[in-house]
Structure 1
């Protein structure tokens, strides 16, 4: 089987790349071990974060670090035996989280974020799944004045620097927007330009179906079998070997398995996360995704029910599940919103692919011809999937990219 391009990874990033290449006249094989949208893209908060111009930094103040060191919080949990291997990544991450560095990173990162909603709107309409997008924004809620004031200062800065739109909600306005939330909340911040997705897995599956309607082909295969073949690339699938003139690695948390075999030493790490769905209590409704800032968890209304999502677990990528954050969050979440019974049989776990400078890797492989990288999107894989798809396709077909990709190239890391 011969194609112009083989895209490895059928999450939101890989599927978006495959669509844009197929639309530009390339014959594309999309290869993954599972059907599209069943790994990291399946389980997230379902947000297209137009306000997410500052990527998530590592806290630097001693009080917060000591709080996390106790390993008893909802938003951060770690496996002690994983910390030695993670130490170089965490050190670089901590250095890049210094306020001046973080601000410089945000100026580059925002060039991607500003297109996140419009690019998804185009793909969703073309794919016929625009009903999965809910253009009502999302809300951060607060139990304390101090937490509210800290977040408000951030929102004001983001508005000045990048035009992020928000509304400050006092308790009465918050109750109008979300009548069944805890009445003791001191208010909320509503990010109005963001879009939420009622079923992220279904969105990716809908995009993949559109890709196949365009003439592309999805194949079940082993990405780690990728090898050079003449001037192109070869990968094994259940239907036999696939040969292609070019290849794209869009494997998210598994990208390192393939790039390491090719001789690259990219500083990639994984942040794990969990979710669980609940039925709402009869007669109650949650209208927006809601982040409890003080306690560090998010509730999102989804097609399957109310999804409770956790923050970050620092662990080996393939270690067994340890959903202690969900267990800590559930009783607190029940005081925030009247959750009913669990809908899922067991917690879902996903893995976020991260770089120490908080920015994705988008662009050509530095030492291999006709090989492209598109991974490392951390908390914003769903948000930036459609943007990355058009960017990679533009680069590969000689179009002028609509965003300068220089800051996101792999060769920004000395370790490669």
Structure 2
């Protein structure tokens, strides 16, 4: 079996890369041990986040750090026993989150964020997936007036500067926009530019279906090794070999393990997140994803029901999942969102592939000809999948990239 390009990883990023390469005439094989969209891309809050123009930095104010240090928050929990394994990464993350560095990260990420919705729209139209996507954005809700006003003072100039449509909602305005919510919020910010997806896993599968119609192959196999040899690469997958001139690594949090034997040491952290679906007990269906900003979780209307997604859990890959964060969020959300019975047998857990400088790796690996990286999208894999696919495909086919890819160069990590 051979191809022009083998893309390893069938999440939203890998599938999008494969589609864009196929659209440019490349013979593509997409390989993953699971079907498309069944790992990290399956379990997010479903936001195509056009409004996230500032990356999620490490908190710098003392009050927030003290709260998180107590390890009782819903937005962030850390595994004390695993702390030594991720403390060096956390120190680098803190370093890059200093105000000036965070501002530079925001500037670097803006071209990708600005094209996120339009690039999804193109693939959605080609794949015929319009019923899975909703316009109208998402809602950032607040429990206290002080937090609401503080956040509003930040967001108003931010929205004006970036040309984002943002609507402040007082309590009456929120009740009118989302009449099915129970009491608990005093105000909200409605970000209107983003879109939401009612089944992120199914959207990814839909893009994979487009790939198949374009002539791409999808192989269900676990890749154990990639080896260079002359002008060709050998991809070893479940006892078989696939030969290709180029290989794209798009395995999200597992990418580092695959490229380590080739000498690449990428500081990649898998931030954990959980979700659970619930039957709604409200008489009025929820229209938009809603973030409980002061507690730290999202409730989004999905095809399966209301999906509650947690904040961040820091742990090691070897540690077993824990229900603590989900249970904390469920207690806070139950009355406001009128959550009924659980619809899943067990909480779902995924790992967000995060770099300490809050930028993905998109581009040539550097030390090996024909090896390309597309991973490390932090909290925005779903948002940035198609735009990453476009950028990398332009680089690989010698087209002129729509934006300077230098900020995402894998070479920045040596």
TM-score, normalized by the shorter chain, greater than 0.5: yes
CA distance in 2 between counterparts of 1:238 and 1:267 reads 27
CA distance in 2 between counterparts of 1:293 and 1:155 reads 13
CA distance in 1 between counterparts of 2:292 and 2:282 reads 22
CA distance in 2 between counterparts of 1:108 and 1:207 reads 27
Q: Partner residue of 1:6? A: 6
CA separation of 1:323 and 1:185: change in aligned 2, threshold 3 A: same
Residue-by-residue CA offset, 1:341-388 (whole Å, 9 max, x unaligned): 100000000000000011101110010101100000010000000000
Q: Is the Cα–Cα contact under 8 Å of residues 110 and 162 in structure 1 kept in the other structure?
A: no
Cα distance, 1:79 vs structure 2: 0.7
CA distance in 1 between counterparts of 2:84 and 2:184 reads 42
CA distance in 2 between counterparts of 1:316 and 1:184 reads 35
Q: Partner residue of 2:36? A: 36
Equivalent residue of 1:183, what SS? coil
Cα distance, 1:165 vs structure 2: 1.8
Residue-by-residue CA offset, 1:104-146 (whole Å, 9 max, x unaligned): 1101111110000000000011011121110110001111112
CA separation of 1:154 and 1:232: change in aligned 2, threshold 3 A: farther
Q: Is the Cα–Cα contact under 8 Å of residues 219 and 238 in structure 1 kept in the other structure?
A: no
Structure 1 runs not aligned, ≥5 long: none
CA separation of 1:314 and 1:193: change in aligned 2, threshold 3 A: same
Cα distance, 1:222 vs structure 2: 2.4
CA distance in 2 between counterparts of 1:93 and 1:282 reads 41
Equivalent residue of 1:383, what SS? helix
Pairs within 5 Å for 1:128-147 = 128-147=128-147
Pairs within 5 Å for 1:1-400 = 1-238=1-238, 240-281=240-281, 283-400=283-400
CA distance in 1 between counterparts of 2:138 and 2:369 reads 42
Cα distance, 1:23 vs structure 2: 0.9
Q: Is the Cα–Cα contact under 8 Å of residues 184 and 336 in structure 2 kept in the other structure?
A: no
Cα distance, 1:87 vs structure 2: 1.4
CA distance in 2 between counterparts of 1:379 and 1:128 reads 26
Residue-by-residue CA offset, 1:206-264 (whole Å, 9 max, x unaligned): 00011001110001222232111322211133583110010000010001001211101
Q: Is the Cα–Cα contact under 8 Å of residues 138 and 288 in structure 2 kept in the other structure?
A: yes
CA distance in 2 between counterparts of 1:141 and 1:83 reads 31
Cα distance, 1:307 vs structure 2: 0.2
Deviates more, 1:4-13 or 1:57-66: 57-66
Equivalent residue of 1:291, what SS? strand
Q: Is the Cα–Cα contact under 8 Å of residues 222 and 235 in structure 1 kept in the other structure?
A: no
RMSD: 1.2
CA distance in 2 between counterparts of 1:154 and 1:34 reads 42
CA distance in 2 between counterparts of 1:4 and 1:254 reads 23
Equivalent residue of 2:379, what SS? helix
CA distance in 1 between counterparts of 2:26 and 2:239 reads 20
Q: Is the Cα–Cα contact under 8 Å of residues 284 and 338 in structure 1 kept in the other structure?
A: no
CA distance in 2 between counterparts of 1:379 and 1:117 reads 16
CA distance in 1 between counterparts of 2:402 and 2:152 reads 31
Deviates more, 1:228-237 or 1:314-323: 228-237
What TM-score do the two structures reach when normalised by structure 2?
0.98
Are 1:402 and 2:393 counterparts? no
Deviates more, 1:146-155 or 1:103-112: 146-155
Cα distance, 1:164 vs structure 2: 2.1
CA distance in 1 between counterparts of 2:375 and 2:101 reads 22
Equivalent residue of 1:159, what SS? helix
Aligned pairs, how many? 414
What TM-score do the two structures reach when normalised by structure 1?
0.97
Structure 2 runs not aligned, ≥5 long: none
Cα distance, 1:184 vs structure 2: 4.1
Equivalent residue of 1:56, what SS? coil
Residue-by-residue CA offset, 1:41-81 (whole Å, 9 max, x unaligned): 00000000000111101101111111111111111111112
Q: Is the Cα–Cα contact under 8 Å of residues 30 and 219 in structure 2 kept in the other structure?
A: yes
Equivalent residue of 1:378, what SS? coil
CA distance in 1 between counterparts of 2:112 and 2:342 reads 36
Q: Is the Cα–Cα contact under 8 Å of residues 15 and 204 in structure 2 kept in the other structure?
A: yes
CA distance in 1 between counterparts of 2:157 and 2:226 reads 45
